[in-house]
Amino acid sequence: MGDRRKDAVVVIGLGRFGGALALELVREGTEVLAIDSRRDIVQRMAGKLTHVVAADSTDIEALRELGVQEFRRAVVAIGSDIEASILTTSLLVELGIADIWAKAMTKQHGKILERVGAHHVVFPEHEMGQRVAHTVQGTMLDYIEMDADFAMIKMVVPKSLVGTQLSGSPLRKKYRITVVAVKHAGGGEDFTYATAETVLQAGDVIYVFGRTEQIEKFNSEIS
Ligand code: ADP
């Protein structure tokens, strides 16, 4: 793989999450070394990924033989086997990987992963659950938590805001949230950045960013 290791990513665990992640990285042109202990999974992925090997990631010698220590980035996508997830993460720390991402099933699991040295912990099931909870009610088209306290939502302009110019709208003053981008209805055009002069029209789709509590308040009060 030559000088691969600067941008390349090691993905350990090719279940639903790790498999989708590895395929998406490859689709985007990133080189991936994919590892799973199950031969059937490795075989299934072999046609789709260039570098996929069967190995037990809790065995540091196996990782060394694969040259994992030469990579800068790794993702531990083992979920249900918490022991293997934690041990693998700690071995990657021991191998000096600079940027380790790990998937956690629960808060406690996430805490331990952080303790052993994961640089980023993700909770895919939890985050997707939250996202669907917000969108299933039908008021939002999408909901993404950006940080512990901030969120971005995508929504159709609420009726009460149709015809309002952003500078004079209650969004900033009352809710302290910001419309970031607007896609005008029927225009077929892309999103444009919102400005103070933007006038919201019926059917427009907007992206709104702000503190989670303010976003929730806005969503429940405005219709
Ligand atoms: P998902 O919910 O995303 O499908 P799983 O936890 O079910 O995640 O899948 C994790 C994957 O990690 C499985 O394919 C499993 O074979 C693999 N795995 C588990 N333990 C190890 C290990 N020690 N070394 C390498 N791969 C492992």
69 and 144 housed in the same domain: no
169 and 86 housed in the same domain: no
In angstroms, the CA 183 to CA 197 distance is: 15
Per residue in 59-88, pLDDT (tens digit) is 999 999 999 999 999 999 998 999 999 999
Looking at 122, 152, 186, the residue that finishes a domain is: 122
CA 176 to ligand 1 centroid distance, Å:
43
Shortest CA distance to 165 belongs to which of 207, 198, 204, 203?
198
59 and 93 housed in the same domain: yes
Q: Which one of 36, 66, 105 would you pick to mutate in the ligand 1 pocket, going by the greatest count of ligand atoms within 8 A of its CB?
A: 36
138 and 110 housed in the same domain: no
Task: Say what the ipTM of the complex is.
Answer: 0.95
Tell whether the model's pLDDT for residue 207 goes beyond 80: yes
Domain hosting residue 166, numbered range: 127-221
As for ligand 1, residues whose beta carbon falls within 6 Å of it are: 12-18, 35-38, 41, 56-58, 78-81, 84
Per residue in 132-187, pLDDT (tens digit) is 888 887 778 999 888 879 999 999 999 999 999 999 888 888 899 999 999 988 76
44 and 106 housed in the same domain: yes
Query: pLDDT class for 198, splitting at 50, 70, 90?
Result: very high
> Quick count: other Cβ atoms within 10 Å of Cβ 192?
12
Q: How many domains does the chain have?
A: 2
| Whole-structure pTM value | 0.80
25 DSSP 8-state letter: H
Instruction: Write out the two tokens for 80.
Output: 């249900």
19 and 108 housed in the same domain: yes
Assign residue 150 the CATH number of its domain: 3.30.70.1450
Assign residue 113 the CATH number of its domain: 3.40.50.720
100 and 8 housed in the same domain: yes
